[in-house]
Every structure is written in C-alpha cells, then in structure tokens.
Structure 1
Amino acid sequence: MSAGEQGSQYVFNKNIRITQLGKSGKIEDAIKVFTQMTQKNTVTYNSMISAYAKNGRVNDARNLFDKMSRRNLISWNTMVAGYVHNGKVDEAYKLFVKMPRRDLFSWTLMITCYTRNEEVEKARELFDSLPFSYRKDVACWNAMISGYVKKGRVNEAKRLFDEMPVKNLVSWNSMLSGYTQNGEMRLGLEFFVRMDERDVVSWNLIVDGFIQVSDLDSAWKFFQEIPKPNVVSWVTMLSGFGRNGKILESRRLFDQMPSRNIVSWNAMVSAYIQNNKIDEARRLFEEMPEMDSVSWTTMINGYVRVGKLDEARELLNKMPYRNVGAQTAMISGYIQCNKVDEARKFFDEIGTHDVVCWNTMIAGYAHHGRINEAVCLFKHMVNKDMVAWNTMISCYAQVGQMDTAVKIFEEMGEKNLVSWNSLITGFVLNGQHLDALKSFVLMGHEGKKPDQSTFACGLRSCATIAALQLGKQLHQVVVKSGYLNDLVVSNALITMYAKCGRILEAEFVFKRICHTDAVSWNSLIGGYGLNGYAKEALKLFEDMASEGMVPDEVTFIGILSACSHAGLVDHGLKLFKSMSEVYAIEPLAEHYACMVDLLGRVGRLDEAFEMVRGMKVKANAGVWGALLGACRTHRNLELGRLAAQKLLEFEPHKTSNYVLLSNMHAEASRWDEVQEVRMLMNARSTGKEPGCSWVEVKNQMHRFLSDDSTQSRAPEIGTTLTRLTAQIRNTFHISEISA
C-alpha cells in the first residue's frame, strides 16, 4: 500500500470513528480524535459537524462549518440537518436560503423540518416552490401529507394525496395513518379496502387505529387476518390489551408469539406496569434473555409510578451502564413524592444531563412554587430548548408574575404554539383577559395557528368579560379551523354563550356535540342557572341521569345555584340531601354557599345560619358573603355583623364588604358604626388595585378603572351620565304625577 493510500485509509478510519463516537454520545472523545488528526478532508469536517449537532452542541457545529475552507453539498445539508435535529427551525431555514445549490434531500429535509414542528403553512409554501424537476418525486409529497396528518388536518392531506402524480406504498400508508391516528376509523376502513396494495404496515395501522378508539374486538379481528404479522403487529395488539386493562390477554398473546425480540419483552413489562402489577413486571424483567436501556428505564419508571422510590433507586444502582433516561425517571419520582431536595441532589450527581433531565428538574421546582430555584437552574442550562423557555413562562404565570412571563416570552428566539398558549393561559389565570385576547390576535399575525387550548382560553376570556361579538368571531374561526368537533372547544363555546346571555346558542352548541362529557352538561346547567332558567336546569339534570352521565361536584353547584336564583327551596334542599345519600358526594363550601343563598333569599336566616354552623368543611368567603347578603336584604343586623366579621377575615381588603356592612348600619340609623366601618375601610383598602370593568363597543373592548383620571373621554362620559341621570329622574317624576 502506497503512502497516499495509507493516508486515505487513515482519514477514512478516523472519520468512521468520529461518526461512531458522535452517535454513542461520546462527544468529548470525538473532539479528541478530530483534534489529533494530522490529515482532514471535507468528510472529516462533515462527520464532526454531525457529531456536534447530534449531541446538542449546534453552536459548535456552526462554528466548525464557518471555518471550513471548502464545503460541498453534503456539508450544507449536514448543517441544516443539525439545526433541524436541535429544533432550530429559523436557523435551518436561513441556512437553507443561503445554500449555493440544493438537491432533493435539501428540500425534503426543510419541508420535513417544518411539518415536524407543526408549521404546516410554511412547509406548504416551500412545497409549492419546489423546482419543476423535483415535483414528481414522492418524498416531498409524502412529507407534506405526514405534516397535515400530524396536525389532524385529514381533509387537506386527502386533497394533496389525490393530486399526487405518482404514489407509492408509503403515500398510501401515510394517508391511512391520517384516518387511524385521528380516530376516523370508518373512513380509514373504507380507504384500507380501496388500497391497491397493502403491506404489514397497513394492517398494523388499522389494528392500532381500532385500539386507539378502544374497539378491541375489531382490532383483534383484523390482527387475526394479517397475512404475515411481524413483531410490531404482535406488540401493537399486546400493548392495546395492556392499555385497556386486559392484562391476561396481553400475557396470553406474549406467550403465543412465534419469536420475541427485546421490544416484545419491554412491551409486556410495560403492560404489567400500566396495570400497577409491579411484582409481575419485576419477575418478567428478571426472566429477560437480554436487557437494553429501555428495559431498565421502564422498570425503574414502574417503581416510581407506584411510589417505591427505594426499589427504583436500588434497580438504578444495578444498571450495568448509567442511562440519563433512567436517571431522569428517578428525579421525576422524587419530585412526584414531594422530595424536591432529594431530586436536586440526585440531579447534581449525574455526569451528563440531556435537555429532558434539565426540563424535568426545572419543571419540578416550578410545580412546587420554588420559582427562584427554577430560574437559577434555567440560567445555568447550556442548550435551552423551547420546552425550558415555555416552562419558565408557565412558572411565572402560576405565581402571578405576568410581567416577567411576558419578558421571558419576548426574550425567546423562536416560539412555537405551546409558547403562545402558555402566555395566553397565564393571562387568563391572572384575570388579564384583554391581554389574553390581544395575544390571541397577535399570534395570528405571527403566522401561528391556534389549537383547541388556544380557542378554549380565548373563549373563556370572552365569557368572563361578556365580549359576545368577539366570542362569535372566535366561533367562526373555530369552524374554519376544523376544531368544532373538539369537546374542549365545544364546552368553552357553551360557557361563552351562556355567560353572554345567549342561552339558545349555548343549547345549539350542546345539542350538536356527538359525545358529551360531564363538563358539557355542567356548562349548560350552569348557564341555565345563570340566566334564570331554573326549570330548564332541573330538566337537564334529570336528562343527565337518564343518559347515564354521573353528576359531580360542579354539577351540583350549577343546579343548586339555579334553585337559589329561582327560589326553589324544596327542590334545592332535596338535591343537597341527595348529594351524599344518593351520589356519595361530600358537599364542599361552594355547595353550602348555594344553600345559604337559597335559604337566605326567602328569609330563612336561622336555618341558613344553622347550616353554616353544622358544616363538615370550613366555611369560606362565599358562605359568609351569601349570609351577609341575605342579612342585608332581610335587615338582620346582628347576624349580619357576625357574618361581616367572619367575611372580613377572609377578604380584609375587599371594599364592597365594608360598603355592605356600612349600608346595613345606615339603614338602622347607627351612624357611629357607619363612621367606624368607613374609617376601617379606608385604612385597609390603601394600595388596593382599583375596580375594573369592560364594555364592548363596535367590536372593540374598552376597559374602565375606578378613579381613572387618564381616561381620555372622562369629561364626555361624565356629561353623558349627568344627562342620563336627569332623564331617569324626569321619568320617575312623570310616573309619580301620572299615578
């Protein structure tokens, strides 16, 4: 072998070594090999760029890419793929645009990048700009169909499928998965029958589709008809039985398998764990002929699931090689058991953390309200991914620090749908409903399409501030976006229309839901009660029972509130009694508040007070507030003072409570007490945020704060109020004269 051939072989071997080390996560060893190489070629640089990217060090990959004196098409594709692998979609596209030349792989890679990131519109724009020479290649078409399928946009996937100039089996299976993954099994079955050819993947998709909709009989029927089932077929059916609690069927199928690989064993262990049969899982685990990291991690997760942390830690210590997935499971277990400090100690003992490990620990701190520690850990995270940023937005939102949450959101480089949803949800949780709706609109301007969570939050804000016109517009967008059949969105629509006083529209939405849940019934029952339709609420409650839907705590809050507003005392008392006697539901403070309000409205104050004294749970502000309101109505000053005293312990800064008590004293001509309450109110309300209200005018929401001197139209508003007051007085004066 000549010196040149030896040199080429040397470089070839080193390049392979760098690739192997990069794939196995040994990035430092790969760097060492790269640095020590006396000869390097373009392949060497490409291998090292790929190794960096696969280990999350995409910035190092880019630095090396920029230093290359000569780049080929593979170099560009490798760097784009590196950005794609690390979720850096914008950076990937910027580099894609700069490429001096692109091949089919370049286009397919970028389209797939967008579809995996659920940015289907951007993927479609790229797809539509494909060079003519690549238009007939099925790879990009298949990537685009898969993108629509992933987003649940099956109709658009089907339209694209029908337009394909050439189809292969992957195309047919991609379209079939669109139906099966989205629960459209009738259409899926029709499509399956029409397929020109099928392979075992096609059969597996049908079996899995029926399992997803819990139709195990059909799944089993098709499984038995598979011409040549493979391991995936057996594991799919086995896992389906396990997920649906049929563990005996799972084990029987496992024992019947003609051949088992490690995936089969792991699936059976997982099935035992899902059904909380940890001892059986452990026995099978110990029988395994070989184990991989998934085997160990699954078993450790099983112990964590049932709260046996000592056993989980013991098993982790026996692992022949430490796996960050198993270690992360251990951290999650400590966090679930409220042992956050132990979780952090274990986190610090891990040599190399991946992003999931970082995010688990940060989310653990956030979940337990330890914001400062979450922030500190977040700052030390080297390669922050979108999950980490989104966690911090939610973290600040949970503790009411929306200004900081907004700052974090703005500091993010790239934002995905979860980022926007985290921000909008934060605004809703903190009562900033106008900001939530503004963010909803801004999100659309940024090219992000809302999902069911976004729509639910937007509709909830419309409901809270009674923004009917905005709510109607959102309803139209829901229809156009294809989320009308989503149960969460439909329930939010019911609530929105009900709280805006449009009970007929709420009924219409309810009636068109195919499969209602308890939230659907509760939303309409609560809506009837809110709008004074007590008889309709009671009728719907009866229908709920006849439909086999079991009422819950929220159901009774709605129905008792309806009885209260309508003065149906006997009905209310009967329903309240049935909670514990018929439905085994222990009343909450909210239920007692409804009953106190019910009895108080008809003047049965002694019974209301006795009910409060006999409560099995601690009274809250709602209970004492209901009693205080009833005392004011029926002028029971002594009981009212007691209720007010209790109420002020819960809400010492709420001005309306002081005003109510003051008015009661005034009506009894106890002016000294009036002055005393007023002084106490002024002392305690210092620094309290002013009252706020909204009004919708010409499709725009306007917010008004009490004593707001900055309101630009304050003089005009004042003049109009004076004119209206005068007209009202004149009307009453004329009525009195006419009488």
Structure 2
Amino acid sequence: MTTAAPHYRSIFTQFLEYTQQKNIVNGKKLHAHIIKTGSTHCSYILNSLVNFYAKCHLLPEAHLAFKAIDNKDIVSWNSLINGYSQLGGRHNSVHVMQLFKNLLSEDHSVVIPDARTFAGAFTAASALMDSVGGKQVHTVAFKLGECEDVFVGSSLLNMYCKAGLVDDARKVFDEMPERNSISWATIISGYAMQRICVDALELFKRVVAEENQHVNEFVVTSVLSAFTSPEFVNIGSQIHCLGLKHGLLSHVSVGNAMVTMYSKCGSLDEADKAFEFSSNKNSITWSAMITGDASAIEEGKETHAYSIKLGFQHQIYIMTAVVDMYAKCGFLDDARKGFDNLQEPDIVLWTSMIGGYVQNGENESALDLFCRMRTEGIYPNELTMASVLKACSSLAMLEQGKQIHATSIKHGFGLEVPIGSALSNMYTKCGSLKDGDLVFTRMPSRDVVSWNSMISGLAQNGLGNEALELFNKMQIEGTKPDYVTFVNILTACSHMGLVEKGWDYFKMMSNEYGIIPRIDHYACMVDLLSRGGQLNEAKEFIESAPIDHGPCLWRILLSACRNYHNYEIGAYAGEKLMELGSQESSAYVQLSSIYKALGKSKDVERVREMMSQRGVSKEPGCSWIELKSHFHVFVVGDQLHPQVKEIRMEIYRLSKLMKDEGYHPNFDSNFADLEVWDATI
C-alpha cells in the first residue's frame, strides 16, 4: 500500500491541475490511464474524477463516474451535487434535489450531509423556486446543526428570498450566529425584490452602523435596487456618496445600479451624469441607460442612436433594452424593428417583445408572436409563459389559456411564481373560479400578486364575501398587502354595498400598512358611496380628495346620479367634467339628458354645441364571443356578420318572450333620447 501511495498521490495531483485548467483532453487520458492500471479502487482518485468532470461541465460523464464508486462518501456526493448546482438551470436543479433525496435514503444512511451538501441543495431549490423542497432541506439542516454555518445560512436566505418568503428569510437572518457580506446583501435584495423599501433601507443602515466592513459592492447594489420611485431619490443620492467614500464606484455593477436607480426614480439628469462618469461601461450599463429613458422617449432615441454609433447595434443585451424601452413607451413598431433586426434573437428578446405587446393591449399580436416562437423551436421561460397567460386573461380566451397551461406543464414549469399567479389570474378572469382556486391552493408559495389575482377574481365574479375572507387569510399567513390588494378589497365592498366596511379598509390602508391612497382607491370609494345612494357624501369626498384626480371621480358620480335620478348633483358633476374638458361622449350625453329632465333647454343646446366644438366623438361599441375555437365579433350598427339575420330574429324572439312573461323595463322619459343621440355621434 505504501508503494502505491506515491502513485495515487501523483494521479490525484494531476487531476487537481487538469480540473483547475479545465483541460478535458488530458483529463480523459488520465481517466483512461486509471482504468488501464487498475487504480479505480482508491476513493480519493474516484472522487477527484467525479469532481473533474463536474467542474468541466461534463455532467453525464461525472454521473457515470459517480455510479462506478462502490463506497461513496460525502465528498463523492458533494462533487456531483455541487457540479449540477453550480451549472444551474431547471434540469440540473431537479437532479440536485433528487440526489439529495437519494443521499438521505436508507441505503446511504451512513453518509451524513455536510455544509457543502446543504449549500448546493438550497441553491437548487432557489433556482426551482421550490419553497416546499427547500423547507424540507432546511428541516434536515436544522436537525444536523448545519444552519449555523455562514455559507449554509446564506444559501438558505437566498432560497427563501427567491421564493418571495421574506418573513421566513428574516427569521433565518436574525438567528444566524455569523453573517458575511453575502448574507447582508441577500436579505436586503430579498426585501428589494418585494418592493419593501423601508425594511431594505433599515437593514442597510444597520450594516453601515454595526458591521461597516461588510459594506461592499454587493450590499450597495442590493439596496439601490429597492429604490424605484421618486421619493427615494435623495436616499439613493446619499448611498451614491457612501459608495464614492468606500471606493466602490470603480465596480461596474455599482455604476450600473446607480444609473438604474436614478432612471427608475425619474431623475434622468442624474442618471445621465452617473452614466457619463461610469469608467467601465458594459452592455448592462447601456441597457440600464436605455431602459431608464423609457419614460422620456426622445432621450431614449438619442441613447439608442449613440449606441449604434459605437457599434453596439448587434449586442443582444443592448437590443433587448432597446426593444423594452420602445415597448414601454408604446412605440411598438419601433420595438418590432429592433426585434426583427437581430438574426437570432434569444428568449429574453422574444419575451421582451411579447411582454411589450401585452403591456400595450396588443394581445392578439402577443399570441401570434408566441406561436411563431414555438414554430422556430425557441423554448419559453417563466416570464414568457406569464405574459402569454396574461394575454389570454385580457381576451377571456379560456380554451387557449388551458392550452398554454398544458404547454407550461410540457416544458416542466410548475406552479411557482410567476406562472402560478398568471394561471390563477387567467382562470378567474375567464370565469373559471374552480380552476383558479385549484391552481392557487396548489401553489408551493404565494406572493402578493398571487393573492391579488385570486381576490380580484372573486370580487369581479360577485363573490365579495369570499374575497374578504381570502384577504383575512392573507393577513393571517403574514403576506403584506399592497395598493392593488386594497383596490380589489374596495371593489368587493362596492359590489356588495358594504359602505362602512369599505371605509374601514380605506383607513386601514394608510393607518396599518402605510400605503398612500391612489386615484384607484378614491375611485373605488366614490363608486362605493354612489352605489349605496350616498351621493352627497360622494360629492364631498371628491372635493376633499388631496390628489389630482382629473375627470375620473366626477365621471363615476355622474353615472350614479343618472341611476338615482338625482339631477342636481348630476348637473354639478357634469359641469365639473365640462370644466375639465372631458373627451368622453357619454359625459355630454348624460349631462344633456339631465338638463332636459330639469327643463333647461338652453343648457341642453349649450352642452351639445360644446361637444360639437370640441370634436368629441364616440367609438362604436364592440364585443366578441368564442364558440368552438372561432371568434364572433359584434360592432354597433354592423351588418357584416354572416348570421346577422338569424341573430336579429333571435333577439326579436327573446324580446317577445320577455314581454309575454310580464317583464316591463324601467323607463325614464327624461333619458329617452340618450341612446338615440348617442347613436348619431
């Protein structure tokens, strides 16, 4: 054995050298030499062989070498587990989780996982957003006392943050006996991803005050990513100064984060300065600048032109940002030109273009492009599927949505965020509440978007009580509601006429969660009061609103006044709309009819003349229905439908049947000309 030891040591040293160099040719030759000389019984050699193939990303060969080991130790398992884990991707991460389960099986119970094993497993669970599997691994790590290791703790933090479970992540962070810069950066980034800026900033202040040595480029970029609205630009500037003090601006990632922060906060001049002073610009820097200019199309076009001048027009990252910028500004033709310019667009670019169509309401174009993408053999990612499902939701295309669901299963996507949220939203928007609830309950983890989708679906389908019950459950489970949640809750209260409860939720929003009410919330409250017949209260609420709401709130009140025949408040709301220069024909028609009801013929003529002078016109109403995979579109006054005669005959039959059954519609002669005049404009 002593004579063989130097030989084994020599082979082991050579494997380490070839692994560092990723010298596949010499490594395979050495593997052949091992087989030829019968050195396959030394565990050190076999483990180094598995490690060599894994580090060279030859995972099938690594797996074969692993299977050939009779007495596997923890090094054998870790070499393969971390090989798959470090390579990343869904397929490799699934392998990691399966290997971990195999390691814990009875046949291998003599081998105990260590810190490296858990770090690899948590990394895989993060990539899969598999919070259920991650929690199971967490349980084993806790039982074996491995959670105290700083690398295991940081990997565990990352897993919970990626799954959107920041409360669980915070518990892990607070219990860590030792933290490094990665730990701090991960938890701050976790809050940033959930747009919980206050907590992200609070932790950043802690690390600066308590553990200043951990303030590095990772921590700074993490906290800067949390600032996406104008109120945080001053704090972002202070962190900019802190980064300058610590000499971190030389890191390209920090420069990119500065440009992105200023852009998202609306300070484009500061973003331009940060961009100009960035000494190490890369494609991501340009992408950040172009994306930031999405709110100012002219600056965006200038940046695009400058990038072309520098020869970056074929850089995939930059062109993706260009497409995204044009799409966000609503310039879809320009976005499509940028997309078509690249000979081989990658999945990120396809997703940006599809998402751009969906964002701008061009849902049919989004679905067409998705079909073309599949035809060209491009595999979708989670964001692609989420965008396409959103298109199906907007078009109420249940059957197509089910097909997209089947496609997501075929490609191995589960019900994790964002696909689970998009699926639940699609089913509920299409009226299939049972399927929506089934997806929702089976999601391994739910973020606030998931809860919002389900609450909205219940509220919009007349199940207000169920929506409020789900909101209570959301609070119990510790998910913090956002402004969208309260829009959905107030909508549910409005549909059920729960005025007092609506007031309670409106106050809860700011008092308990610090959410400043937006125009959507004020609109919901006006609708709630108006539906409840409290028109005076609605009028007073609008006039006391501290935000610039334009014509939105008065429009809601005007419609309610017509329903309740309150012509005085209706005339007041209508005149407010006239003062604001409303371009909606319905406002003029309703106000004119109200004046007719009040016997004010001069005001009737005045409103009609005002409408004509302002060039206000009405687009014809349009609706559609899907039957047997075929869409039937109906436009007001349209005679082009091939079955228009049969349709009119059926309407006549139903109308006669209603009259025969004794149905008498509520009829207000004061509004008799509303539809007639409306049809002529």
TM-score (norm 2): 0.67
The corresponding residue for 1:559 is 489
Alignment of 1:58-97 (within 5 A): none
The corresponding residue for 1:509 is 439
d(CA) in 1 for partners of 2:286 and 2:324?
Answer: 16
Question: How much has 1:680 moved relative to structure 2?
Answer: 3.5
Are the structure 2 counterparts of residues 529 and 336 from structure 1 closer, same or farther at C-alpha, using a change threshold of 3 Å?
Answer: closer
Are the structure 2 counterparts of residues 465 and 386 from structure 1 closer, same or farther at C-alpha, using a change threshold of 3 Å?
Answer: same
The corresponding residue for 1:607 is 537
The corresponding residue for 1:131 is none
Say yes or no: does 1:189 pair with 2:120: no
- Cα shift readout 1:414-451 (whole Å, capped 9, x = no counterpart): 11111121111111111111112222222211212222
The partner residue of 1:409 within 339, 364, 386 is 339
d(CA) in 2 for partners of 1:547 and 1:253?
Answer: 28
The partner residue of 1:373 within 299, 302, 305 is 302
Amino acid at match of 1:627: L
Say yes or no: does 1:475 pair with 2:405: yes
Question: How much has 1:183 moved relative to structure 2?
Answer: 8.8
Question: How much has 1:193 moved relative to structure 2?
Answer: 3.9
The question of whether the paired residues in 1 share the 8 Å contact of 2:323 and 2:353 is answered with yes
Are the structure 2 counterparts of residues 574 and 304 from structure 1 closer, same or farther at C-alpha, using a change threshold of 3 Å?
Answer: closer
The question of whether the paired residues in 2 share the 8 Å contact of 1:495 and 1:527 is answered with yes
Amino acid at match of 1:645: E
Are the structure 2 counterparts of residues 731 and 303 from structure 1 closer, same or farther at C-alpha, using a change threshold of 3 Å?
Answer: closer
The question of whether the paired residues in 1 share the 8 Å contact of 2:558 and 2:570 is answered with yes
The corresponding residue for 1:150 is none
Alignment of 1:383-532 (within 5 A): 383=312, 384-532=314-462
The corresponding residue for 1:656 is 586
The question of whether the paired residues in 2 share the 8 Å contact of 1:272 and 1:280 is answered with no
Q: 3-state DSSP class of the match of 2:470?
A: helix
Are the structure 2 counterparts of residues 202 and 573 from structure 1 closer, same or farther at C-alpha, using a change threshold of 3 Å?
Answer: closer
The question of whether the paired residues in 2 share the 8 Å contact of 1:589 and 1:620 is answered with no
d(CA) in 2 for partners of 1:324 and 1:525?
Answer: 42
Question: How much has 1:572 moved relative to structure 2?
Answer: 3.4
Q: 3-state DSSP class of the match of 2:324?
A: helix
Are the structure 2 counterparts of residues 348 and 578 from structure 1 closer, same or farther at C-alpha, using a change threshold of 3 Å?
Answer: closer
Amino acid at match of 2:285: C
Q: 3-state DSSP class of the match of 1:557?
A: helix
d(CA) in 1 for partners of 2:271 and 2:278?
Answer: 11
The corresponding residue for 2:118 is 206
d(CA) in 1 for partners of 2:278 and 2:499?
Answer: 63
- Cα shift readout 1:219-259 (whole Å, capped 9, x = no counterpart): 57768599xxxxxx8656568679966889879577xxxxx
Amino acid at match of 1:374: T
The question of whether the paired residues in 2 share the 8 Å contact of 1:208 and 1:237 is answered with no
Are the structure 2 counterparts of residues 247 and 175 from structure 1 closer, same or farther at C-alpha, using a change threshold of 3 Å?
Answer: closer
The partner residue of 1:719 within 602, 620, 645 is 645
Are the structure 2 counterparts of residues 454 and 334 from structure 1 closer, same or farther at C-alpha, using a change threshold of 3 Å?
Answer: closer
The partner residue of 1:357 within 275, 285, 299 is 285
Bigger RCO of structures 1 and 2 (CA < 8 A, at least 6 apart): 2
Identical residues among aligned pairs (%): 28
Alignment of 1:230-245 (within 5 A): none
The corresponding residue for 2:17 is none
Are the structure 2 counterparts of residues 362 and 692 from structure 1 closer, same or farther at C-alpha, using a change threshold of 3 Å?
Answer: same
d(CA) in 2 for partners of 1:649 and 1:467?
Answer: 40
The question of whether the paired residues in 1 share the 8 Å contact of 2:328 and 2:356 is answered with yes
Alignment of 1:126-137 (within 5 A): none
Amino acid at match of 2:404: L
Are the structure 2 counterparts of residues 282 and 198 from structure 1 closer, same or farther at C-alpha, using a change threshold of 3 Å?
Answer: same
Question: How much has 1:209 moved relative to structure 2?
Answer: 3.4
The partner residue of 2:576 within 624, 643, 646 is 646
The corresponding residue for 2:674 is none
The question of whether the paired residues in 1 share the 8 Å contact of 2:490 and 2:502 is answered with yes
Are the structure 2 counterparts of residues 733 and 285 from structure 1 closer, same or farther at C-alpha, using a change threshold of 3 Å?
Answer: closer
Return 459-468 or 214-223, whichever deviates more: 214-223
d(CA) in 1 for partners of 2:211 and 2:446?
Answer: 40
Amino acid at match of 1:481: H
Q: 3-state DSSP class of the match of 2:626?
A: strand
Are the structure 2 counterparts of residues 164 and 235 from structure 1 closer, same or farther at C-alpha, using a change threshold of 3 Å?
Answer: closer
Alignment of 1:318-337 (within 5 A): 328=256, 331=259, 335=263
The question of whether the paired residues in 2 share the 8 Å contact of 1:366 and 1:374 is answered with no
Amino acid at match of 1:354: N
- Cα shift readout 1:353-385 (whole Å, capped 9, x = no counterpart): 432333333333335553222322232242432
The question of whether the paired residues in 1 share the 8 Å contact of 2:358 and 2:387 is answered with yes
Are the structure 2 counterparts of residues 639 and 181 from structure 1 closer, same or farther at C-alpha, using a change threshold of 3 Å?
Answer: farther
d(CA) in 2 for partners of 1:443 and 1:722?
Answer: 41
d(CA) in 2 for partners of 1:538 and 1:273?
Answer: 32
Alignment of 1:144-223 (within 5 A): 171=80, 173-175=82-84, 182=93, 187=98, 189-193=100-104, 203-210=115-122, 213=134
The corresponding residue for 2:243 is 312
Q: CA RMSD in A?
A: 4.9
Amino acid at match of 2:418: V
The corresponding residue for 2:557 is 627
d(CA) in 2 for partners of 1:643 and 1:696?
Answer: 39
Structure 1: give runs of 5+ residues left out of the alignment: 1-102, 109-136, 147-156, 227-232, 255-265, 287-294
Amino acid at match of 1:543: K
The question of whether the paired residues in 2 share the 8 Å contact of 1:534 and 1:562 is answered with yes
The question of whether the paired residues in 1 share the 8 Å contact of 2:550 and 2:580 is answered with yes
d(CA) in 1 for partners of 2:469 and 2:224?
Answer: 46
The question of whether the paired residues in 1 share the 8 Å contact of 2:367 and 2:391 is answered with yes
The corresponding residue for 2:502 is 572
d(CA) in 1 for partners of 2:214 and 2:55?
Answer: 39
- Cα shift readout 1:66-114 (whole Å, capped 9, x = no counterpart): xxxxxxxxxxxxxxxxxxxxxxxxxxxxxxxxxxxxx998xx9xxxxxx
d(CA) in 2 for partners of 1:304 and 1:601?
Answer: 44
Question: How much has 1:473 moved relative to structure 2?
Answer: 1.9
The question of whether the paired residues in 1 share the 8 Å contact of 2:622 and 2:636 is answered with yes
Question: How much has 1:273 moved relative to structure 2?
Answer: 8.9
Question: How much has 1:400 moved relative to structure 2?
Answer: 0.9
Q: 3-state DSSP class of the match of 1:696?
A: strand
Question: How much has 1:715 moved relative to structure 2?
Answer: 6.0
The question of whether the paired residues in 2 share the 8 Å contact of 1:301 and 1:326 is answered with yes
Are the structure 2 counterparts of residues 217 and 533 from structure 1 closer, same or farther at C-alpha, using a change threshold of 3 Å?
Answer: closer
d(CA) in 2 for partners of 1:503 and 1:364?
Answer: 38
Q: 3-state DSSP class of the match of 1:595?
A: helix
Amino acid at match of 1:312: G
The corresponding residue for 2:10 is none
Structure 2: give runs of 5+ residues left out of the alignment: 1-22, 29-49, 70-75, 127-133, 162-168, 190-202, 226-235, 665-681
Question: How much has 1:391 moved relative to structure 2?
Answer: 0.7
Are the structure 2 counterparts of residues 210 and 252 from structure 1 closer, same or farther at C-alpha, using a change threshold of 3 Å?
Answer: same
d(CA) in 2 for partners of 1:285 and 1:491?
Answer: 36
The corresponding residue for 2:672 is none
Q: 3-state DSSP class of the match of 2:237?
A: coil
Are the structure 2 counterparts of residues 239 and 640 from structure 1 closer, same or farther at C-alpha, using a change threshold of 3 Å?
Answer: same
Question: How much has 1:161 moved relative to structure 2?
Answer: 6.1
The question of whether the paired residues in 1 share the 8 Å contact of 2:146 and 2:152 is answered with no
Say yes or no: does 1:276 pair with 2:204: yes
Amino acid at match of 1:406: R
The corresponding residue for 1:93 is none
Amino acid at match of 1:723: M
d(CA) in 2 for partners of 1:621 and 1:198?
Answer: 72
Question: How much has 1:633 moved relative to structure 2?
Answer: 0.3
d(CA) in 1 for partners of 2:649 and 2:93?
Answer: 59
